[in-house]
């Protein structure tokens, strides 16, 4: 499995435009945030910069993941990977795991910059804030890395995979708001954007925010979403003709 | 000896369309076997099924004695292939591309990268990005990739596409070397002249159906010869040629060129043709024997024209032959 993972990382990082472009975009947004931020405490400063970094990074990760999922099918290389005799499900799983590993340099850069930039503000960030920010960044990049890689495998075409992944993020928030407003607030609690945000920010049930699920339940629902999307993608890879 | 590929009544349907129709072949080990047919006749579909890339609608496929699907992983463990066209990661170098594939095939495959690149003559360009390679270079890199797992069987789909004449000659030599090493090579092609020079055995396919298979020599023996005549008066010459005692039929190949189909294009037949035409006062501009070629045999079997095959000249299609040699299997 490790050699396969190494090969997958080589493929993802080899697409330099999406890999380094995503990191650069996150850094630029963080730079702007630091420049205009007027936080008085280190904790708030780190949270704000890390939040800017994780949302900017998310956009890049959506592109990287969609490409990781769809590239081999769109490019015609998938048939040669299948020809190696490695089971198809394993090829699909390695893509998802590879994507989770590939976002780590970006996550590390976001966290280091957020931490360093907040050190001189007030007393600097506490250990709890550092821990929560680390979790928020990783949860964001991993969740949307898995979602976009799965969408990529389901779509099989680079352009549509990127488009659907981006729409899923932005449109997902809109759909969730509409569901909460016009259909059911309870149902909206189970939708991917809601549980993702609750888990990433470790938000406890809050009536004012309209969050009814416990944190543990939100974790479970998010896991179901990710497993279901990944399973659908793996099933497609397993079934497709190349 | 157990065949390296065994197809038993293999059929592939896409809705109502039958892409491969009840094909049965045994491909012998240690030989170059060519799968010959015009574009769109089902060659690639059959290869994709053999390699576990596409499902079989009905029938049974065995590769190296193992069922595909069923034991695909074991069956393909010593099989290399090019399907449709060689595809790579254009942003990685040739060497890094092979490293990606070797990672899926184990340490021995990794050790085979340098020798494979040497073998296909790409060692000097191995560190260049594949995006800068010509189609011919990508074909050669495709063969290098196919060699990584020390294959017993190579399945190459239209492998000579994009090769220049020098590259074609090198490729033929390489295929013969691979066969001499005891490997089996299965090639699909629509280029008759290439197949004739490269293959030991041939199967001819058209519209998903196998029309004939056997050794190249046997297949060509099963065909007829012809005497080609360019005359000053083809309209008057035609009935005269048809009346020749050895004539099996006459076809007009071009405006003033006629072909008399014969069992054996010998000197006596040539002389008699000339004499009869001169005797009738018809001028002869060219008179020549047309011997056994795979192209003639192919055209006879498929009832198609050289133009449809992508040949340089357009030949009229003579009627189908009906006298196959003993060692040749025909199924039309």
Q: Is B21 domain-assigned?
A: yes
- Owner of token pair 């290389």: A77
B268 CA: distance to closest CA in chain A (Å): 56
B197 & B287 share domain:
no
> β-strands B32-36, B201-206: how paired?
parallel
More confident residue, B181 or B324: B181
Q: Is B154 domain-assigned?
A: yes
Chain A hits for B101, Cβ within 8 Å: 80-81, 84
Last residue of a domain, one of B220, B253, B279: B220
Confidence of residue B94 (pLDDT cuts 50, 70, 90): very high
A7/B99 touch (CB, cutoff 8 Å), yes or no: yes
Closest partner residue to B104 (CB to CB) among A75, A84, A241 is: A84
The whole domain housing B55 covers: 5-220
- In this prediction, residues B30-50 reach a mean pLDDT of 90
A10/B88 touch (CB, cutoff 8 Å), yes or no: no
Window from A39-43, A215-219, B47-51, B165-169 with minimum mean pLDDT = A39-43
Percent of chain A surpassing pLDDT 70: 100
Nearest to B307 by CA among B188, B190, B203: B190
A241/B53 touch (CB, cutoff 8 Å), yes or no: yes
Query: Which residues are bridge partners to B79 per DSSP?
Result: B153
The CATH number of the domain where B273 resides is what?
A: 3.30.70.920
B59 & B133 share domain:
yes
- In this prediction, residues A100-107 reach a mean pLDDT of 96
Chain A nearest-CA residue for B93: A14
What CA–CA distance (Å, rounded) separates A238 from B172? 36
B314 & B165 share domain:
no
DSSP chain A: -HHHHHHHHHHHHHSHHHHHHHHHHHHHHHHHHHHH---SSHHHHHHHHHHHHHHHHHHHHHHHHHHHHHHHHHHT-HHHHHHTT--HHHHHHHHHHHHHHHTHHHHHHHHHHHHHHHHTSTT---HHHHHHHHHHHHHHHHHHHHHHHHHHHHH-SHHHHHHHHHHHHHHHHHHHHHIIIII-HHHHHTSHHHHHHHHHTTPPPBTTTTB-S-HHHHHHHHHHHHHHHHHHHHHHHHH---
pLDDT tens-digit profile of B95-130? 999 999 999 998 899 999 999 999 999 999 999 999
Chain B hits for A242, Cβ within 8 Å: 48, 53-54
More confident residue, B324 or A151: A151
B120 & B268 share domain:
no
* ipTM over 0.95 threshold: no
pLDDT tens-digit profile of B157-194? 988 887 888 888 888 888 999 999 999 999 998 888 88
pLDDT higher than 50, residue A115: yes
B158 & B288 share domain:
no
Contacts with A217 (C-beta within 8 Å, 6 or more apart), sequence order: none
- Identify the contact set of chain A against chain B, taking CB-CB distances under 8 A: 3-4, 6-7, 10-11, 14-16, 75-77, 79-87, 241-242
**What local confidence, expressed as pLDDT, does residue B312 receive?**
32
Q: Is B331 domain-assigned?
A: no
B85/A76 touch (CB, cutoff 8 Å), yes or no: yes
Q: Is B329 domain-assigned?
A: no
Strand intervals (E) in B140-283: 153-157, 184-189, 201-206, 209-215, 225-231, 250-254, 257-262
pLDDT tens-digit profile of B145-164? 999 999 999 999 988 887 88
Q: Could you give the angle at which helices A215-239 and A127-155 cross, rounded to 10 degrees?
A: 30
B300 & B189 share domain:
no
**What local confidence, expressed as pLDDT, does residue B241 receive?**
92
- Identify the contact set of chain B against chain A, taking CB-CB distances under 8 A: 48, 51-55, 72-74, 76-77, 79-81, 83-85, 87-89, 91-92, 96, 99-101, 103-105, 145, 149
Q: Is B85 domain-assigned?
A: yes
B174 & B278 share domain:
no
**What local confidence, expressed as pLDDT, does residue A173 receive?**
83
Contacts with B107 (C-beta within 8 Å, 6 or more apart), sequence order: none
A111 CA: distance to closest CA in chain B (Å): 30
How many domains, in total, are found in chain B?
2
**What local confidence, expressed as pLDDT, does residue A82 receive?**
93
Chain B hits for A79, Cβ within 8 Å: 48, 51, 53, 83-84, 87
Report how far apart the first and last C-alpha atoms of chain B are (Å, whole number): 27
Greatest mean pLDDT among A41-45, B181-185, B324-328: B181-185
B214 & B293 share domain:
no
Chain B hits for A75, Cβ within 8 Å: 87, 89
Last residue of a domain, one of B220, B235, B268: B220
pLDDT tens-digit profile of A211-240? 788 999 999 999 999 999 999 999 999 999
Percent of chain B surpassing pLDDT 90: 52
What CA–CA distance (Å, rounded) separates B149 from B113? 10
Q: What is the enclosing helix (H) or strand (E) of B288?
A: strand B284-290
Mean pLDDT taken over chain A: 91
Q: Is B330 domain-assigned?
A: no
Last residue of a domain, one of B220, B245, B266: B220
Closest partner residue to B104 (CB to CB) among A79, A81, A241 is: A81
Q: Is B287 domain-assigned?
A: yes
B251 phi and psi, to 5 degrees? -135, 150
B139 & B169 share domain:
yes
More confident residue, A77 or B291: A77
- In this prediction, residues B28-48 reach a mean pLDDT of 90
B83/A83 touch (CB, cutoff 8 Å), yes or no: yes
CB atoms within 10 A of CB B115: 12
**What local confidence, expressed as pLDDT, does residue B2 receive?**
83
The CATH number of the domain where B176 resides is what?
A: 3.40.50.300
């Amino acid at each position: 499995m490790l050699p396969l993972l190494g090969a997958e990382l080589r493929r993802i990082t080899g697409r330099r435009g999406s890999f380094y472009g995503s990191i650069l975009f996150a850094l630029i947004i963080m730079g702007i945030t630091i420049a205009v931020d007027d936080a008085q405490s280190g904790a708030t400063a780190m949270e704000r910069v890390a939040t800017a970094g994780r949302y900017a990074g998310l956009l890049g990760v959506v592109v990287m993941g969609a490409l990781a999922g769809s590239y081999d099918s769109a490019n015609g290389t998938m048939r040669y990977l299948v020809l190696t005799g490695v089971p198809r499900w394993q090829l699909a799983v390695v893509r998802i795991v590879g994507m989770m590993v590939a976002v780590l340099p970006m996550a590390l850069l976001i966290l280091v910059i957020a931490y360093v930039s907040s050190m001189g503000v007030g007393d600097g960030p506490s250990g709890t804030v550092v821990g929560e920010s680390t979790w928020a960044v990783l949860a964001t990049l991993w969740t949307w890395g898995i979602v976009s890689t799965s969408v990529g495998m389901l779509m099989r075409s680079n352009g549509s995979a990127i488009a659907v992944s981006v729409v899923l993020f932005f449109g997902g928030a809109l759909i969730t708001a509409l569901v909460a407003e016009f259909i059911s607030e309870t149902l909206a609690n189970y939708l991917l954007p809601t549980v993702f945000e609750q888990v990433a920010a470790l938000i406890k049930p809050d009536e004012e925010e309209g969050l009814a699920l416990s944190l543990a339940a939100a974790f479970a629902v998010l896991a179901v979403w990710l497993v279901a999307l990944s399973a659908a993608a793996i099933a497609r890879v397993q079934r497709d003709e190349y | 000896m157990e065949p390296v590929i065994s197809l038993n009544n293999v059929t592939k349907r896409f809705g109502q369309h039958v892409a491969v129709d009840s094909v049965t072949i045994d491909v012998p080990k240690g030989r170059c076997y060519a799968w010959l047919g015009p574009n769109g006749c089902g060659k690639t579909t059959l290869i994709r099924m053999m390699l576990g890339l596409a499902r079989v609608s009905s029938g049974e496929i065995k590769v190296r004695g193992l069922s595909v699907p069923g034991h695909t992983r074991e069956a393909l463990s010593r099989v290399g292939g090019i399907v449709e066209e060689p595809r790579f990661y254009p942003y990685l170098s040739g060497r890094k591309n092979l490293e990606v594939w070797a990672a899926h095939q184990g340490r021995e495959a990794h050790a085979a990268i340098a020798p494979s690149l040497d073998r296909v003559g790409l060692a000097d360009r191995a560190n260049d990005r594949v995006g800068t390679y010509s189609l011919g270079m990508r074909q050669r890199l495709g063969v290098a990739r196919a060699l990584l797992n020390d294959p017993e069987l190579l399945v190459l789909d239209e492998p000579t596409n994009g090769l220049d004449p020098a590259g074609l000659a090198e490729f033929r030599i390489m295929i013969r070397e691979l066969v001499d090493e005891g490997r089996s090579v299965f090639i699909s092609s629509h280029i008759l002249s290439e197949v004739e020079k490269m293959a030991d055995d041939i199967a001819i396919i058209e519209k998903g159906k196998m029309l004939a298979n056997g050794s190249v020599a046997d297949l060509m023996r099963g065909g007829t010869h012809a005497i080609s005549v360019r005359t000053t008066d083809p309209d008057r010459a035609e009935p005269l040629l048809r009346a020749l005692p050895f004539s099996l039929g006459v076809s007009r190949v071009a405006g003033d060129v006629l072909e008399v189909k014969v069992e054996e294009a010998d000197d006596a037949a040539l002389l008699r043709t000339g004499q009869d035409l001169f005797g009738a006062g018809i001028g002869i501009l060219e008179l020549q024997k047309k011997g056994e070629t795979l192209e003639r045999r192919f055209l006879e079997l498929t009832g198609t024209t050289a133009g449809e095959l992508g040949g340089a000249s357009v030949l009229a299609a003579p009627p189908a032959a009906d006298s196959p040699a003993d060692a040749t299997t025909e199924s039309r």
